[in-house]
Amino acid sequence: MQFLQKPVYILQQRNTYFFFSALVVLVSLLLWAMNRNVESGDHYTYLFYLKGFEAGRYSYWYFLEDYIPDTFRNPGYPLFLYLLSFISPSVHFIQFVQWVLLMGAVIIMLKIIELYQQGYLIKNLFLIFVLLNFVTLSYSAYVFPENLVLFVITLIVFVEIKWESGWKKTILLAFLYGFCFQVRPVILFIPFIRFAYYLYFRSKEKPLFNIAFIVLFAATLLPYAFWNKKHHDQFNITPLEGGGGVMYLGYWSPKMLNVVEDRYWRNVMYEDALFNFVDMKDVPHHVKLFNNEWDSIERICSKYMTAKDTAVLLEMKKHPQLFVTYNTTYTLQREKLLKELAVQHYLSDLKYTVSLKTYTFFRLWYTGLTAKQFMSERMSVFIPQLLAFLTTFTTLLLFIGYFLYALFRRRDLLLNMMIPLFWCAYFAAIHVPFAIQSRYTIPVRFLYLFVLAYLMYHVHSKKEQQPTAIQH
């Protein structure tokens, strides 16, 4: 391993750390500048929520006289955008604040690394992986909540590891988890898993802190639940729709490659250059089955539509950049049907389900390469996508390799990484039943890249260089 001595020496240097830190800043700014005028798929809905708050209505249909209160999203990110609007209404200001949050997440992550290992080598490895996975740095320019959640989760992990148990930590974490839930409800089970862990493994450590934590967290769920009760007569801590629909599309989208469905959220999944689960010649047949099923769903739910609803629907269809919102009863019944159909489809098509969901667990961690991009003659389209695929896919292969090695030979490393690994595993597992979008794991990508850097360092380091033990 003589040939590694020079690179390792360079990675141990403070100047190398400053160089890679500056490079992360520059690359993130470059990506911000390149993408600041690119509109995300949720761009208009989020900005119209902001205007809705200004009008005193939580709905992106606020401008309709007979508007329907929102059924689609928890209010965390829209409220964040609304608060920023008091400083500036500019979208570029939102994007700049998100870039600041991204840099804040990088800084906090570097502080977390210090808690595990002194010196610059792991920090530099982490920064290299961040640069290679440049897709993570690009999200600050999009009106998406990923950067905000990335910052909040990184801060949560830092507080969990760094701070001693006490009222300050208990109260701060309860509200951080609560806010994080309102931005991305998928984290719902994590606070309860934390509560159960402390209850079972650390019961002697002032249980009052643990009880206070879960009570305060639960309290943060109530305002939105009461809002749903007031406007939809449903005491729900999550929106009325979403879960069933995403599960349903998660089944059909891989069967309808390159087709934009126009019955729900205009979702599309493109033919992948490497991995697909359908023969392209079967796609028209699947599209026909999908539309027939939606016709049935709409016929069943049509009895819940009133003349007023029909008039509002005609107005909504004049705004194709926004998703149609139906009345409470219609929404609930459709969500129930979609969930039942999704479960039925998955169970009746087990071979497809198992292969697709196994693929999904890993696909969440890398940027795909579509067949259209792969065949593109435009280098400006092909090269960035190819680089994004190669770097993220290679990183995933490295992670799998080092994780398996540690699992069989160095389990002490995995035990020391329990908190970052838990967040990564949770985000992958919780999204497996739903549609494939690698952006869903952006909030934990820094943790994922840190674990890889940590394992790589300690697997190849001398045995006497033991990692700092972290109490969980």
Looking at per-residue confidence, does 43 or 471 come out higher?
A: 43
Q: How confident is the model at residue 331 (pLDDT cuts 50, 70, 90)?
A: very high
How many Å apart are CA 414 and CA 404, to the nearest integer?
10
Polymer length of the chain: 472
The pLDDT of residue 124 is 96
327 pLDDT exceeds 80?
yes
What average pLDDT does the segment 339-349 reach?
94
Name the nearest CA neighbour of 245 among 160, 312, 323, 137.
323
Can you tell me which residue has the tokens 């007979």? 66
Tokens encoding 422? 């838990």
314: which DSSP letter?
A: H
Average pLDDT score over the chain: 91
Contact 79, 103 (CB under 8 A): no
The pLDDT of residue 202 is 76
What would the pLDDT profile of 54-96 be if each residue is shown by its tens digit? 999 999 999 998 889 999 999 999 999 999 999 998 999 999 9
What average pLDDT does the segment 102-126 reach?
95
369 pLDDT exceeds 90?
no
- SS3 state at 289: helix
Looking at per-residue confidence, does 372 or 246 come out higher?
A: 246
Measured in whole angstroms, how far is the alpha carbon of residue 49 from the centre of its chain? 20
Contact 364, 263 (CB under 8 A): no
Tokens encoding 167? 């009222």
273 pLDDT exceeds 60?
yes
Contact 177, 467 (CB under 8 A): no
User: 167-178: b or e for each residue (b if 16 or more CB lie within 10 Å)?
Assistant: eebbebbbebbb
The pLDDT of residue 378 is 74
The pLDDT of residue 267 is 85
What average pLDDT does the segment 383-393 reach?
90
Q: How confident is the model at residue 3 (pLDDT cuts 50, 70, 90)?
A: low
Q: For the whole prediction, is pTM greater than 0.95?
A: no
Tokens encoding 92? 């570029």
- In order of 11, 36, 173, 451, the CA distances from 96 in angstroms are 31, 9, 26, 28
Name the nearest CA neighbour of 81 among 69, 93, 71, 99.
93
The percent of residues above 70 in pLDDT, for the chain, comes to 95
19 pLDDT exceeds 80?
yes
AA letter at 444: V
How many Å apart are CA 386 and CA 379, to the nearest integer?
10
The pLDDT of residue 38 is 86
Strand partners, 272: 370
The pLDDT of residue 53 is 94
